Amino acid sequence: MTAPELPGRLHVVGPLGSGAFATVWLAHDPALDADVAVKVLADNWSRRPEVHARFVEEARLLRRVENDRVVRVYDVGELADGRPYLVMTHAAGGSLASHLEKCGSIEVGSALAVLDQVVEGLSVLHSKGIVHRDVNPHNVLLLEPWVAGSSPRAVLADLGLAKDLGLGSGLTQPAGTGDYRAPEQRELSLEVSPATDTYAVSVLARELLTRAGVSPGRRFGSLAAGLSERPDERPSAPELLTRLRTELSVAQPASQVAPLTWLSGIRRRRLVLALVLAVTLIAGATATSSLWPRTYASTAGGLSVRLDGGWSQIESASIPGVGGASGFTLAKDAARVLLARAPAAPGPDGPEARDVAEQTTHDECLVHQPSTVDVGGWRGRLVSWSRCGATSGRVDEVALTVGDTVVYLQVTAPTGEPDLASVLSGLELAPG
């Protein structure tokens, strides 16, 4: 992965992280003696005008907000090769997702502090007519490293999927991540609204409190209306908090949920508990976290993908036309995610990686023109099929040369789920 040459006085220190669409670099400003984060759109995506425009639009949205609970953007520009970049707040503590991945659990007080700040950030966005559309732990950044017993400062990030309601942006992609998606994000015919973010932050509340050892009850029927499946019946996040505060003060939840008696009398914690209970009702979930996002990894090492829970993992996978493959297959209903790797010809465009993606066929599907893809700095080939059979399903296949191996990903989605973007965003590859 080659560091970008930034114009001006910024010096790139090293990579902070990468995903399917962009890479984030740590840079230093010697004049101000300050670190910043520089987000650079991936080369293959920068050539698509609609993606390029959305990336730049993120900078405009962030500049409109200018709030301590939302990541700040200081500059926007283009590299010599045409890739756009944003200069933003550097969050030294990383993402909330990375903290949860490393620690597994979270202190209740810290969880509540983070949730308060997320809701505040959303309130600011909504007041500007902006819907985030992708609230999840990966898009909550911590401004400093997490210290046990502290109240971490958190900011909302990644407005690349945000929708400006005032401009009627006309975005048609469903957006969202896994179980954080509101029902309207799964139906292109339905409009997103601030209530979409209310749904996501409530799912986030449930996940954090479950990890903190809080076991939500299921008997607050009057709270169900707070998070209806219908977006036009769902209130804004602040309205929801007010409504749930009233409900809890009357319902005396501590007498009904024994493990939470120690929370009674603390208003802020009552609010978060109410969010947890409401999500339990609308999702029909239990107190377990089996459906929350998790990392699925190969026993052979070097391959992993983070997806919503509920997938069955089989330690078996093959690569078309390539022997000696190892990997795994994930199955959920008729959907499949296959991830495997095998020895390959060296070089960023090795013939095996190129040929693998183009030699499979799906007779009942419409094939699209193969294209070059960049996944976290690894280049390869993408071939997609759509309109499979009598459904709107699709099959996407990606073949990459990673070190001295070829990595092969196949996503079969009969109902459109999971989409390739969500799988690629959770994909982690170690060099061969």
Domains and CATH numbers, the chain: 11-89 (3.30.200.20), 94-166+178-250 (1.10.510.10), 294-429 (3.40.1000)
Q: Residue 166: which residues within 8 A CB-CB, separation 6 or more? A: 129
| pLDDT score at 428 | 79
With beta carbons less than 8 A apart as the criterion, state whether 338 and 329 touch: yes
Other beta carbons within 10 angstroms of residue 314's beta carbon come to 13
Q: Give me the catalytic one of 134, 158, 374, 396.
A: 134
| pLDDT score at 89 | 92
Helix (H) or strand (E) holding 395: strand 393-402
| pLDDT score at 134 | 87
Burial 13-33 (b: 16+ CB within 10 A, else e): eeebbbbbbbbbbbbbeeeee
Other beta carbons within 10 angstroms of residue 251's beta carbon come to 19
Averaged pLDDT in 10-residue chunks for the chain of 432 residues: 84 85 90 91 84 84 87 91 91 90 77 82 87 89 82 84 50 61 69 80 73 42 42 56 43 32 36 49 42 71 78 82 82 88 61 63 80 77 80 82 83 81 77 56
Helix (H) or strand (E) holding 46: helix 43-46
Q: Which two tokens stand for residue 136?
A: 């999840």
Q: Which two tokens stand for residue 90?
A: 């550097």
Written as one string, the DSSP assignment of 333-356 is TTEEEEEEEEE--SSTT-HHHHHH
Q: Residue 362: which residues within 8 A CB-CB, separation 6 or more? A: 385, 388, 395
pTM comes to: 0.54
Whether 134 is a known active-site residue: answer yes
Comparing C-alpha atoms, which of 278, 233, 273, 280 is closest to residue 249? 273
SS3 20: coil
- CA gap 162, 8 in Å, rounded: 29
